[in-house]
Structure 1
Amino acid sequence: MSTLSSPKTIAGKPVGPIGYGLMMLTLVGGIPYDEAIKSMKAALENGSTFWNAGTFYGPPDANSLHLLKYYFTKYPEDASRVVLSIKGAYDGATQTPKASPESIRASVDECLAILDGVKSIDLFEPARIDPEVPIETSVKALQELVQAGKIGSYGLSEVNAHTIRRAHTVFPPAAVEVEFSLFSRHALEKGGIIDTCRELDIPVVGYSPLDRGWLTGQLKTLEDLPKDDIRHYYPRFQPGNFEKNVKLAEFVEQVAVKKGVTSAQVAIAWVQQQGVLPIPGSTKVERVLENAKRVQLTEAEAAELENALGKATVSGARYPEMFQAHLNQ
């Protein structure tokens, strides 16, 4: 059973044991920047120094980059404390990757223009693999951007072991980002993503460690999701699947109650013990503080989770059908 610790450095810079995902701060909109930066500040002050953002997290004129510009203009002293990862080279309007050399360069240049010098890009990731562009071609363009000093390093997102090896041969990535949680454990397959990254000494970043809210212990019925919640379109939240997944989530909650912590803290601790850096995201300060609190699972607790989830299958795919073609590529 794995009892590793999450990466201590990424792109040559120290990172805290738990990162912070900024997606929900701008994806839907409606959160004033003055409110959003309270959660960002809370994350940083509680050790979450690795921040993950995206060019398509929100509209073109109000995405992660604009919020980051606002934050670091207000707190310039924090720029050196944050290791910033940006996902880009992706068309949010059509939900398609754009990872040609020209598109990658344009995406990076746009990010730099919006940030306007208040913060450097420590890690840039094409959000998905472009089926029209060989990974070697994309990586060469990213290497040139690193050499030109426009980005500190590059990463890969939603890739399989074969793609990781192909990219590494050209220019080693500083990190690989993958969806990873107690409900999404595909990266642990033998010879797969995590085994390959361990072999090549590549840090792994786990997004959605709470499986879009499943592992917070707050979802009991479909009525717990607002009517306009985007998760209604995700298979795991649809009728039939929802009821089965509630039972699995309740088991995680039982382990948390016995330990005197929250379901979210158990779920995040499990991700860390696989040697992966979790990047939970929240729009509320109280949730940020909950997620950032360090919890250590005992061997017995980890075994209990493994045994229970190993006997059951999470019901429903990770993403709706329209996104499937660009996953694990």
Structure 2
Amino acid sequence: MIKTRTLGRNGPAVSAIGLGCMGMSDFYANRDDAESIATLHHALDQGLNFLDTSDIYGPYTNEELIGKAIAGRRNDVFIATKFGITRDPANETARGFNGRPEYVKASCDASLKRLGIEQIDLYYQHRVDKTVPIEDTVGAMADLVRAGKVRYLGLSEASAATLARACKVHPIAALQSEYSLWTRDPEATGALAACRAHGVALVAYSPLGRGFLTGAFSKPEDLPADDYRRKFSPRFAEENFQRNLALVEVVKQLAHSKGVTASQIALGWVLAQGDDVIPIPGTKRRSYLDQNIAALDVVLSPAELAQLDKAFPMDVAAGLRYPESFLGSVNA
């Protein structure tokens, strides 16, 4: 069975690696629901029980896909979903944020229906709504816990100060933030330290740098034309791509010397940052899922960790992690 980690100081044990499900339904090309469901079933069969989704993925279709996949297997899965980002169907780059209490509760009910479950295991505010006091939003989330609709609460891309305020309203089990070799923002902003001060797990999304750290790409054209990374991700842009490839070469060389994959080195680094850090790499393929699970057995020596830290200091990546228009919603 897969190793487990505790979701926060007093939270439940979940698989030490989770499965980010976004790409099964949105943003990446080559959607294949049959393969995605097979991958979800394979994850559960292997003991990987921590599934991550959101109402924005699709929107809505990813929750429906997971609901279909877990039917009859509720006891095998720990489901995390999110609310709080709104999308404009007429503009794929536009985002809105809603943390109003009535929206929180309506979103929860809708997610429960799509997932086909009676209780969400971990419910995140996907992004902080700066127009609504965090106390009001988390207060509404706490009402959902008291109503039995949600077990544990989480925030995503919240600042250290916001996390501290939220914890005064209700215990927060997890803070989800982008964290990888080339995105070490939780260290730089103090969010990781705040998690540890408050007994909160850090759930690391995009631990493989949206696939870049796997070494699978050599040029932007390796991505399908309709892949959002090619259109919107600054680090995949032509002017940054080659500079970032040089960083990945360090990962590939270390992987070769250890007889593992580059993705396993990248995941191994995240896992080595502490037992309170849980990466949730995304994939819709069973073969990649097995590679990710095997990363749990990759042991990086102090010298190897130091080598990676030297190659990947803060802000080493060329290009912002999101388009500039999105950055106001992170570390909020």
Residue of structure 2 in register with 1:67 after alignment: 65
Counterpart-to-counterpart distance in 2, 1:18 and 1:277 = 6
Deviation, 1:96, is 1.4
Deviation, 1:210, is 0.3
Residue of structure 2 in register with 1:227 after alignment: 225
- TM-score (normalised: structure 1): 0.92
Residue of structure 2 in register with 1:326 after alignment: 329
- Is 1:41 aligned with 2:36? no
- Is 1:85 aligned with 2:80? yes
Residue of structure 2 in register with 1:256 after alignment: 255
Q: Is the 8 A contact 1:101 1:137 kept in 2?
A: yes
Q: Aligned in 2, Cα 1:121/1:182: closer, same or farther, shift over 3 Å?
A: same
CA deviation profile, 1:160-183 (whole Å, cap 9, x unmatched): 111110111111211110000001
Q: Is the 8 A contact 1:17 1:47 kept in 2?
A: no
Alignment partner of 1:38: what SS? helix
Q: Is the 8 A contact 1:49 1:82 kept in 2?
A: yes
Deviation, 1:27, is 1.1
Counterpart-to-counterpart distance in 1, 2:66 and 2:286 = 17
Counterpart-to-counterpart distance in 2, 1:12 and 1:199 = 15
Deviation, 1:44, is 2.2
Q: Is the 8 A contact 2:6 2:14 kept in 1?
A: yes
Q: Is the 8 A contact 1:54 1:65 kept in 2?
A: yes
Q: Aligned in 2, Cα 1:145/1:311: closer, same or farther, shift over 3 Å?
A: closer
- TM-score (normalised: structure 2): 0.91
Q: Aligned in 2, Cα 1:312/1:324: closer, same or farther, shift over 3 Å?
A: closer
CA deviation profile, 1:14-56 (whole Å, cap 9, x unmatched): 2111111000111147634332111112222233211110101
Aligned residues: 318
Residue of structure 1 in register with 2:91 after alignment: none
Counterpart-to-counterpart distance in 2, 1:102 and 1:9 = 27
CA deviation profile, 1:59-81 (whole Å, cap 9, x unmatched): 34xx22111221122xx1x3112
Match of 2:306 among 295, 303, 320: 303
Residue of structure 1 in register with 2:318 after alignment: 315
Q: Aligned in 2, Cα 1:184/1:6: closer, same or farther, shift over 3 Å?
A: farther
Alignment partner of 1:240: what SS? helix
Q: Is the 8 A contact 2:267 2:292 kept in 1?
A: yes
- Is 1:19 aligned with 2:34? no
Q: Aligned in 2, Cα 1:17/1:311: closer, same or farther, shift over 3 Å?
A: closer
Deviation, 1:6, is 7.8
Alignment partner of 2:80: what SS? strand
Residue of structure 1 in register with 2:103 after alignment: 103
Counterpart-to-counterpart distance in 1, 2:47 and 2:18 = 8
- Is 1:279 aligned with 2:277? no
Instruction: State the one-letter code of the partner of 1:15.
Output: V
Residue of structure 2 in register with 1:247 after alignment: 246
Q: Is the 8 A contact 2:7 2:174 kept in 1?
A: no
- Greater mean deviation of Cα atoms: 215-224 or 311-320: 311-320
Consecutive unaligned residues of structure 2, counting only runs of 5 or more, are 89-93
Q: Aligned in 2, Cα 1:127/1:311: closer, same or farther, shift over 3 Å?
A: closer
Alignment partner of 2:151: what SS? coil
- Is 1:236 aligned with 2:235? yes
Counterpart-to-counterpart distance in 2, 1:49 and 1:296 = 23
Deviation, 1:120, is 2.8
- Is 1:135 aligned with 2:137? no
The aligned runs of 1:168-247 (5 Å cut-off) are 168-189=167-188, 192-232=190-230, 233-247=232-246
Deviation, 1:299, is 1.2
Q: Root-mean-square deviation (CA), in Å?
A: 1.9
Deviation, 1:264, is 0.4
Q: Is the 8 A contact 1:235 1:316 kept in 2?
A: yes
Counterpart-to-counterpart distance in 2, 1:303 and 1:165 = 31
Residue of structure 2 in register with 1:124 after alignment: 123
Where is the strand percentage greater, Structure 1 or Structure 2?
2
Consecutive unaligned residues of structure 1, counting only runs of 5 or more, are none
Counterpart-to-counterpart distance in 2, 1:153 and 1:112 = 14
Q: Aligned in 2, Cα 1:247/1:32: closer, same or farther, shift over 3 Å?
A: closer
- Is 1:270 aligned with 2:265? no
Alignment partner of 1:85: what SS? strand
Counterpart-to-counterpart distance in 1, 2:132 and 2:315 = 38
Counterpart-to-counterpart distance in 2, 1:212 and 1:165 = 29
Counterpart-to-counterpart distance in 1, 2:30 and 2:300 = 37
Counterpart-to-counterpart distance in 2, 1:227 and 1:116 = 34
